[in-house]
Homo-oligomer: A and B are copies of this chain.
Amino acid sequence: MNEPLPTVLLTGFEPFGRDALNPSWDAVRRLEDEVIAGHRIVATCLPVEFGRSLAVLRTHVERLRPALVLAVGLAGGRAAISLERVAINVDDARIPDNAGRQPVDEPVDPAGPAACFARLPLKAMLAALREAGIPAEVSQTAGTFVCNHVFYGLMRLLEGSGARGGFIHVPYCPSQAAYHPGAPSMAPETVMEALRIAVRVALTVEHDLRLTAGAEH
């Protein structure tokens, strides 16, 4: 009898704001059950809600004990796959979440540190994406809305485990950008391929590259 494969948990988000779809979930759900570097992908959709998003994430992480968790979210207006470097311990919502909550300058976790870094070989992921012809960048901020909230909570969840994890922002899909004049977009197929590469590098590269991807400001 076969051992079940170890897993990778990919999460996307449901739609929020005025958009009827969310390309993060569209890409993630289509990767369900793919096998990458000997790991099976499990896909989960998170609500765009402070608090409940993290409760759902915790349930899945505790049940699956995945080797890697990549949370994926929409960054409408960005042009590239954004590999997030750091989550900060702040909720500051410019718009209400999908449950109508709008925290201002509250901590994600009152007992937590000011920030948590991704546990990912970000520079190796960046290099692999660019070599594959996919626009990518390391980002120094995941914002202060539900994406950053989930990212921060995820890194706290993974503390003490050997699991890797982090957060990736993706651009609008073309059909969204068609109604956001001037906004960049990325084809769903490109986003899916980017996530496959991100997962493979995160699972297989132990020591990150020494490659600058900083910002003067």
Binding site for B on A (CB under 8 A): 17, 73-80, 82, 85-86, 88, 90-95, 102, 104-105, 113-117, 123, 129-130, 133-137, 140-145, 147, 169, 174-175, 177-179, 181-187, 189-190, 208, 210-217
Contacts and interface: CB of A to CB of B under 8 A. Distances in A.
Contacts of A190: 174, 187
A214 B114 contact: no
A88 B208 CA distance: 19
A104 to B, nearest CB: 5
Nearest to A142: B217
A114 B191 CA distance: 30
A197 to B, nearest CB: 12
Given A133-B175, A178-B134, A147 B76 contact: no
A120 to B, nearest CB: 12
Nearest to A185: B135
A15 to B, nearest CB: 13
A135 B216 contact: no
Nearest to A115: B115
B216 A143 contact: yes
